[in-house]
Every structure is written in structure tokens, then in C-alpha cells.
Amino acid sequence: MNDLANAPDLVSDSDEPKTLAETAYRQLRRDIIEGVHRPGDKLRVEHLKDQYEVGAGTLREALQLLVTDALVVAQGQRGFRVAPMSLDDFADITRTRVLLETSALQQSIELGDDAWEASVVAAFHMLSRAEDKLADGSKASREEWEMRNRAFHEALIGACPSRWIRHFQNILYHQSERYRRLSLFRQPIPRDVHAEHQAIVDAALARNGAEATRILSEHILRTLEAVRQLPADFIN
């Protein structure tokens, strides 16, 4: 039996939610990542069900999905809390993400066809367009950039045949997003993110796996370094 047949389904954020629980899950996840619900905050079902306009059972289902994502911690009979944040945690997330994402990119470079190349080029183009809009400083522009950045990283590893690698990479990406948002618009270290993305694309399309994975690794690790330069009170 092919074990991949039993791997979890991968749901893109661009897909329309199919249930009320999935809608609530996405809204809660967005608010946790954006810091509306702070690390350690208690998530009281009786309060949140009105805020997200769903029943208590639906909200608990959404919270359980967030527990699976490690964005929420279940506390037995005491309910749910937003998962804590720390530099040690982000360093662990980053190192693990580097291992998985560089492996997936290497496999994509080896196995990807013309359609994979086209998807990478298209995703980079859309990300670049979103980047041009960041100057207006609006929340909508930041949200679009985040969505396009996620789509770009997904496209890079899109030809990796391992659904498990892509599944866990997706979880790690969402975990790192909480930290990346702390640094992206505060720019604690000088960096040209567009140039970093361009270099990854160029190496990937040239089918230079060693160079592409090296640049991708440095790109991911640079965000860790940026977060380390932030004042300590940002990570709490």
C-alpha cells in the first residue's frame, strides 16, 4: 500500500472554506498570527463564539484544529490559550523548516517539469506586484504580500512528491509567520527580500539545486537573525 494515500490533505489558504468550523479556524488563525490574540491569552469559548459568530461546538472544533497547528494550547478542563512565543522556539522552528524546505526544493528542482517552472515564475511575479504596493503601508497590502509570499514558497516546493514534507512545511510556515511579522515591517537588519527571492528563482530555474538550497537556507535564517535583533519585549 502506498503510504502517501493516507497522508493528510493539503488545503491551500486560497481555497474557499467548506465548513463553518474551517471559516472560524482561518479567522482565529489570522488573528493569532497578527497578534490580535497575544501569546498566553486565554481563548474563552463563551466570549469568542459571539465575536466569530459561530456556535460553541463549532468554535471548539476550530480551536482543536489550531491545537494541531501548535498555535493554540489545550489545557484540559481549563480551556485553551494562545501558544507562547520565544526566541528558542523560533530558532527550533527555523532550523526544522530549513531542513524540510530545502529538501523539498531540491526534489522539486530534480523532478519539476515546465509547468512547475511556470508556476514558480508566476508566483514570483505576483509576489513582486504585491511588494510594489507595500509602500502605502495599509493592512490590506501587508495581507496581500503575506498571501503572495506563502504562495511563492509553496510554488518552489510544488514538485516535491512527498505530501508529508509539504504538510509539515505548511505548519512550520504558519508558525514562523507569527515571528516574521514582528520583523518584516520593522526591518531591524538591512535586507533586500526581493533580491533574495529573485536569487532563489534564478538558481531554481537554472536547475542548480546546491545554489538554490543554499540561498533559500540563508533567506530563512536571515529572518531568525532579524527577530533576534528586536527588543526583548516583542517576543512575549
56-115 pLDDT, tens digit each: 999 999 999 999 888 999 987 788 999 999 999 999 999 999 999 999 999 999 999 999
Q: What is the pLDDT of residues 114-150, one digit of tens each?
A: 999 999 999 999 999 999 998 887 888 888 998 999 9
**Residue that has been written with the C-alpha cell 514558497 in this structure:** 153
pTM for this predicted structure: 0.81
Q: Is 72 in contact with 43 (CB distance < 8 Å)?
A: yes
The DSSP line for 155-213 is: HHTTT---HHHHHHHHHHHHHHHHHHHHHHTT-SS---HHHHHHHHHHHHHTT-HHHHH
Sign of CA dihedral 49, 18, 6, 115: negative
In terms of C-beta distances under 8 Å and separation of at least 24 residues, what long-range contacts does 137-142 make, across chains too? 142/185
All domains of the chain in start order, with CATH: 15-82 (1.10.10.10), 87-234 (1.20.120.530)
**Rounded Cα–Cα distance for residues 127 and 177 (Å):** 16
SS3 of residue 82 by DSSP: strand
CA-to-CA distance for 37 and 31, rounded, in angstroms? 6
Backbone angles phi, psi at 218, to 5 degrees: -65, -40
Find cell 502605502 and name the residue.
136
Which amino acid appears at position 114 of this protein?
D
Distance (Å, whole) CA 100 – CA 157: 10
Q: Say what the pLDDT of residue 5 is.
A: 39
